[in-house]
Amino acid sequence: MHTCVERTRVRPYLNAGSLVVRPELGIMRAWSERFAWLYRDTRMSAFYPRDRRYAAFVHQAVLAGTVLAKVERARMRELPKFTNYPRQFHESTPRSAARDLSMT
């Protein structure tokens, strides 16, 4: 994946707010089981006091790991940029990219 503004290559980051999955792959069950185990793991709980966001967003890190472990890369598709355009970065987005990303 590439970031919207700087076009930097990054690893996939899956947002738990909106997903489309094939139930037969067992992604949601695996995510739930892995999250429940990892969240309580004492090795992980040592990280939570360092930054409150670690505990708040560990579910999304586990989601990304689960999907990457269970889905073949060839079956993944990155949605067009306008699908999840980060409007808070609008002012820092180059004009040509902002035009391409505009939903109008």
The pTM of the full predicted model, rounded to 2 decimals, is 0.64
The Cα–Cα gap between 60 and 70 comes to 15
pLDDT in the model for residue 23: 93
pLDDT in the model for residue 32: 94
Nearest alpha-carbon partner for 40 in 52, 50, 48, 28: 48
Whether the CB-CB separation of 38 and 62 falls below 8 Å is answered with yes
Residue for token pair 């269970």 = 70
pLDDT in the model for residue 12: 72
pLDDT in the model for residue 75: 87
Q: What is the pLDDT along the chain (104 residues), one digit of tens a residue?
A: 777 667 788 877 777 666 778 899 999 999 999 999 998 888 888 888 998 888 888 888 899 899 999 999 888 877 666 555 566 766 766 565 545 555 44
- Tokens found for residue 45: 């709980």
